[in-house]
Amino acid sequence: MDPTVLAAIISALVGGVAGEAGKSAWASLTALARDRFGRDSPEAAALEAAPAGDTREIAGILVDRAEADPEFRESLASWTAETGKIIQRSHDVSNTISGDARIHGTVIQAGDIFGSIDLGSRRDPDR
């Protein structure tokens, strides 16, 4: 399982993507961890702290457990696939620059970006 994909999905859910469906998906992930590892487990604690926690760290914890537990790996992979579909269906992006906007530098319009954007050695022509 790719921790980057799982972190992206967790981040989207923590950010409120997918509305009620996202809340339901989050509840099901939390229940999955609690049922498998216990209510007081590090996995459940990481999910409980998610809004304040590092989504990459949370994903890493879950992926580590999945690597050691084939049953959990299967459940987590299924959850990830289904939740990814929910997020994809419910996530619309609209980027607009209009009116008297003055752009000084680079503008990047996109949906979700997971990772960095490298503009390389490109220099801003206005500087």
Residue 53: per-residue pLDDT: 65
Could you give the CA distance from residue 122 to residue 127 in angstroms, rounded to a whole number? 12
**Selected residue with higher pLDDT from 127 and 100:** 100
Is residue 117 in some structural domain? Answer: no
> With the C-alpha atoms ordered 50, 54, 55, 57, is the resulting torsion angle positive or negative?
negative
Is residue 29 in some structural domain? Answer: yes
Residue 73: per-residue pLDDT: 95
Contacts of 80 (CB under 8 A, 6+ apart): 1, 5, 6, 9
> Any alpha helices (H) in the chain, and if so which ranges?
3-14, 19-37, 42-48, 55-68, 70-90
Chain centroid offset of residue 95 CA: 21
**Number of domains the chain is built from:** 1
pLDDT tens digits along 4-27: 889 889 888 888 877 788 889 989
Structural domain span for residue 43: 3-90
Is residue 77 in some structural domain? Answer: yes
pLDDT tens digits along 34-73: 999 999 998 888 888 776 667 888 899 999 999 999 999 9
Is residue 123 in some structural domain? Answer: no
Could you give the CA distance from residue 18 to residue 83 in angstroms, rounded to a whole number? 9
As a whole number of Å, the CA-based R_g of the chain is 18
Stated pTM of the model: 0.67
